Amino acid sequence: MKKFKYRIESYLKFVKYNRESALKELKKAERYRDSLVEKYEFMESQMREAYQMNSEIGQSGRNIHFINDNNQFLVKLKVHMENLSHEIAQAEQDYKAKYQALVELQLKVKKMELHKEAELEKFKAEYRKKSQKLTDEINSTRKRGA
């Protein structure tokens, strides 16, 4: 009797390879998104420090030029943070799209593996049926000869 061979095994391997690639892409997108979030959080801390510094300088009544410089820094920081927030939103969309693609590939692999298992069960049932038929023929031949 011949061995079981899944007729679309190469396609299953291809889909599994695509799933692994999608997983790598998802992790890459996640790292990028997380790095942007860390950068944004750092900018927020810089902004809090700058506001704190303005408050301290304003209470002491020291150099107004330093306050102006600090305010200019805050304005530029706000612009950078706004641009970064748009970039984070885009990175989040990219992450979600890659996650959805991975989920779809995982479902496809699972369906194909279930199909493969069903085909294997059919093969085993056919094998048992043919084996039983062969055994019956051998037994009937022995009974006729005796």
- Judge whether 75 lies within some domain: yes
Q: How much is the pTM?
A: 0.74
- Judge whether 126 lies within some domain: no
- Judge whether 25 lies within some domain: yes
- Judge whether 48 lies within some domain: yes
Distances in whole angstroms, Cα of residue 35 to Cα of each of 42, 115, 133: 11, 41, 66
Alpha carbons 111 and 25: distance in angstroms, whole number: 22
Amino acid at residue number 28? K
- Judge whether 124 lies within some domain: no
pLDDT in tens, 105-141: 999 999 999 999 999 999 999 999 988 988 888 888 8
* Residue 54 near residue 130 (C-beta atoms within 8 A): no
Provide CB contacts within 8 A for 85, sequence distance 6+: 40
pLDDT in tens, 10-57: 999 999 999 999 999 999 999 999 999 999 999 999 999 988 888 877
Structurally, the chain folds into a number of domains equal to: 1
- Judge whether 60 lies within some domain: yes
- Judge whether 78 lies within some domain: yes
pLDDT for position 76: 94
Q: Which of 90, 116, 107, 105 is nearest to 7 (CA)?
A: 116
- Judge whether 14 lies within some domain: yes
The total of other beta-carbon atoms located within 10 Å of residue 26's CB is 20
Domain that includes residue 73, residue range: 9-110
91: confidence class by pLDDT, cuts 50, 70, 90: very high
